[in-house]
A and B are shown apart, each in its own frame.
Chain A
Amino acid sequence: DSGVTQTPKHLITATGQRVTLRCSPRSGDLSVYWYQQSLDQGLQFLIQYYNGEERAKGNILERFSAQQFPDLHSELNLSSLELGDSALYFCASSQGLAAINEQFFGPGTRLTVL
């Protein structure tokens, strides 16, 4: 158990819908990262937050957005869903921003868009 929790574990929805994925980082970790794992794209970085502020952005679509709240949990919002958004979405957390800080991964949320 990494200490990072993600809910829900599975999500099945239809095209055009909007969903919210939730992540609670390990106690004491200020930085949260979101990654997408799909069969065709592999594991890709989406976005990073540190202590409530966005710090880095990867290949995140405009239909996707995220935020980190004062209690440090984070939410990833996916809207106007398409079949290609079906993937495993991971959240990771680390203590700080330094490259040596290990990132601890949650178990993931599996999103299926029908």
Chain B
Amino acid sequence: GNSVTQMEGPVTLSEEAFLTINCTYTATGYPSLFWYVQYPGEGLQLLLKATKADDKGSNKGFEATYRKETTSFHLEKGSVQVSDSAVYFCALRNAGGTSYGKLTFGQGTILTVHP
């Protein structure tokens, strides 16, 4: 079955530091890949997505590249801000089969950015 593995957290950084959160996946076929962000007390928001190999998703300074050869979708940001403090989830979704539409999530990585 499908699975997503994220790097262990929590991650604590100073403002303007470089961020990488690793994500690797196992899936059949050609899944779409996503990063969601959850701010304290809120639901999940889509941060970025990529639907095929070598696609780069980007939003709000964050980016991730769909690497089929390494089955990875690492999240990066060049300079984090205090407002980026949140929980980040990597997820995948298959296009077909009996589970189509369903999102499979990683365990989440807590990011805390200090001024």
Contact = CB atoms under 8 A, between A and B. Distances in A.
Is the pairing of A and B real? yes
Interface of A: 2, 4, 31, 33, 35, 42-45, 48, 50, 55-56, 58, 90, 92, 94, 97-108
| Main SS class of interface, A | strand
A2 B43 contact: yes
B107 interface: yes
A43 B108 contact: yes
Given A42-B108, A43-B105, A99 B100 contact: yes
Contacts of A2: 43, 45
Contacts of A101: 101
A56 B100 contact: yes
Interface string B18-51: 0000000000000110001000001111100101
Interface string B82-109: 0000000100011110111111111110
B12 to A, nearest CB: 20
Contacts of B93: 99
A24 to B, nearest CB: 14
A100 B100 contact: no
13 contacts: A42-B108, A45-B102, A45-B104, A55-B101, A56-B99, A56-B101, A58-B99, A58-B102, A99-B94, A100-B51, A102-B46, A102-B49, A107-B43
A1 B72 CA distance: 30
A6 to B, nearest CB: 8
A55 B102 CA distance: 10
Given A43-B105, A107-B43, A99 B99 contact: no
B89 A43 contact: yes
Given A2-B43, A42-B108, A106-B43, A97 B103 contact: no
A99 to B, nearest CB: 4
Contacts of B104: 45
Contact of B32 (A92, A94, A100): A100
A56 B102 contact: yes
Nearest to B42: A107
B43 A90 contact: yes
Given A44-B105, A90-B43, 10 more contacts: A2-B43, A33-B103, A42-B105, A55-B100, A94-B101, A97-B100, A99-B31, A102-B49, A103-B103, A105-B45
